[in-house]
Structure 1
Amino acid sequence: MDGALVFETAAGPIPVRTEARTASLTSVPTRSRPATADELAAALTALRWSPTDVDPGWPPQVAFAGNDHLMLAARTRARLADLGYDFPALRALMAGAGWTTVHLFWREDERLFHARDPFPPGGVVEDPATGSAAAAFGGYLRALGRAPSRFTIIQGEDMGRRSELTVDVSRDDARITVTGTATLIPD
């Protein structure tokens, strides 16, 4: 179905535009805050990461674009690719913190990021394309003063379900627009 839709959410309306198999969503206004030391320690334990696995150039934060996501940068692409976490521990942490995903990312260059989004609250190990996390990530980058006006997130690649999300960030609007192409999954 092509056209405009509006998802009414507790955080506010989320406009969605669809064309062919492409969909764009525009988030509610984003915000970001530093993760606490306790949140970070619990997340690293559940992820089975050490503090040296985290890229020190990207501060761990909890970013909001309708719901909360922990933003955590992997020091290397190999660290990002190796996702073997404690599912029950991460699910419990996320439920207590109110996080929808943990957005793990690695920066390839100025406009290209790779991401993985563990999603135990949804009952799955990982989500291959997470528009809400991509929007929160755009807000996180803007809060840090490091957001290009447009960038791409490659997600799902390490689980064999590669997706590309295009993220548009405006200096004049606290909302973020995320565009992706849908993939038909046969029954």
Structure 2
Amino acid sequence: HVPSIWTAGVPFLLVPMHNIAAVRDMDFDAGLWLRTAPLVEGLLTAAYIYCRGGVNHAAKFHARMFSPDMGIAEDPATGSAAAALSGAIHHFDGLTDGHYPLLIEQGVEMERPSHIHLRMDIKDGEISRARIGGHAVRVASGTFEI
């Protein structure tokens, strides 16, 4: 894998790293990102940093997501980024026809570990279907009155 832009609606600059230690120890400079990140159709890309493997033995990928443009210092679970990652996985790994269930862990460094289930179906050498899922836990609630 090499750094590349992928989207499933929201553009991400996907940056592969060598291992979990490199992902864990990286410093993200939001100000620098806002000044230098690429634009896609006028939208600033968000950063999705990932590597193979995981803290959880079942995880195939370990990731972190940053989007200072959207006011997100770091996100513990990003479904749209996992969906974008499906394109990179298919492209760089050369997946053959079949069904690929993959677990992506995110939020570990924030102490809010999340498991995102990505399921990809490849048919005739193309992604015919990609689905994301997982479980959510309410961490806050509130009301808004006008």
The alignment of Structure 1 onto Structure 2 pairs a total of residues equal to: 130
- Read off the aligned partner of 1:159 and give its amino acid letter: M
The range that moved more, 126-135 or 89-98, is 89-98
Cα RMSD (Å) of the superposition?
A: 2.2
Q: Is the 8 A contact 1:70 1:99 kept in 2?
A: no
Partner of 1:90: 33
Residue 76 of structure 1 and its aligned partner are, at CA, apart by 2.2
CA distance in 1, matches of 2:67, 2:78: 10
Unaligned 5+ residue runs, structure 2? 142-146
- Read off the aligned partner of 1:140 and give its amino acid letter: A
Partner of 1:131: 79
Residue 122 of structure 1 and its aligned partner are, at CA, apart by 1.7
Partner of 2:132: 178
Partner of 1:61: 4
CA distance in 2, matches of 1:179, 1:119: 21
Choose which of 70, 75, 84 in structure 2 pairs with 1:122: 70
The 3 A distance-change label for structure 1 pair 175 and 90 is farther
- Alignment of 1:80 with 2:23, yes or no, is yes
Residue 82 of structure 1 and its aligned partner are, at CA, apart by 1.8
Q: Is the 8 A contact 1:155 1:162 kept in 2?
A: yes
Choose which of 14, 27, 49 in structure 2 pairs with 1:71: 14
Residue 100 of structure 1 and its aligned partner are, at CA, apart by 3.9
Residue 165 of structure 1 and its aligned partner are, at CA, apart by 0.1
Residue 143 of structure 1 and its aligned partner are, at CA, apart by 1.6
The 3 A distance-change label for structure 1 pair 129 and 142 is same
Please state which structure has a larger fraction of its residues in helix. Answer: 1
Unaligned 5+ residue runs, structure 1? 1-57
- Secondary structure of the 1:182 match is coil
Residue 99 of structure 1 and its aligned partner are, at CA, apart by 4.2
Partner of 2:103: 152
Q: Is the 8 A contact 2:122 2:129 kept in 1?
A: no
The range that moved more, 122-131 or 170-179, is 170-179
- Read off the aligned partner of 1:155 and give its amino acid letter: Q
For residues 107-139 of structure 1, what are the alpha-carbon distances to aligned partners after superposition, in whole Å with 9 as ceiling and x for unaligned? 017961100011112212111100000000011
Q: Is the 8 A contact 2:59 2:105 kept in 1?
A: no
TM-score, normalised with respect to structure 1: 0.62
- Read off the aligned partner of 2:113 and give its amino acid letter: R
Q: Is the 8 A contact 1:103 1:116 kept in 2?
A: yes
- Secondary structure of the 1:133 match is helix
TM-score, normalised with respect to structure 2: 0.78
For residues 59-91 of structure 1, what are the alpha-carbon distances to aligned partners after superposition, in whole Å with 9 as ceiling and x for unaligned? 221112112111111112111012322211112
Q: Is the 8 A contact 2:39 2:45 kept in 1?
A: no
